Amino acid sequence: EVQLVQSGGGLVQPGGSLRLSCAASGFTFSTYDMHWVRQATGKGLEWVSAIDTAGDTYYATSVKGRFTISRENAKISLYLQMNSLRAGDTAKYYCVRVSTWSKYFDLWGRGALVTVSS
């Protein structure tokens, strides 16, 4: 089955760190650009970060310098290392695949809830 299985969400104190993981299955992971998109409860979608097939990375201004996206093709996995977390980072984080033909988001994980609170 073609899917993205996420893990790693949870409650963390302000200033803390958390690592999200996303395991791909059913497709050739190494040939797809991958992204993270977040959504605070009741709010809209916010793009967070991307990594392309060459390993080049891109970040939203709000997370640059604090978050690091990475991938391990051998483990068919995507990661998001989040440091210096703030209350404003509280959201559901989606692991997302980019379609090779449309170049838009065509496969989403179920999301991992990250809550930053003391």
Q: Which of 39, 55, 26 is nearest to 95 (CA)?
A: 39
Three-state secondary structure call for residue 58? strand
- Contact code string over 40-79 relative to another protein, x by CB under 8 A: ----xxxx--x-------xxxx------------------
Stretch that binds another protein, among 8-16, 18-26, 38-46, 74-82 (CB under 8 A): 38-46
Distance between CA 78 and CA 51 in Å, rounded? Answer: 9
Nearer to another protein, 96 or 116 (CB): 96
The DSSP output letter for 27 is S
Q: Does 1 bind another protein (CB under 8 A)?
A: no
Tally of CB atoms within 10 A around 31: 9
Burial (CB < 10 A; 0-12, 13-18, 19+), residue 64, is exposed
Nearer to another protein, 43 or 75 (CB): 43
Stretch that binds another protein, among 14-22, 23-31, 76-84, 107-115 (CB under 8 A): 107-115
Residue ranges binding another protein (CB under 8 A): 35, 37, 44-47, 50, 58-61, 94, 99, 102-106, 108-111
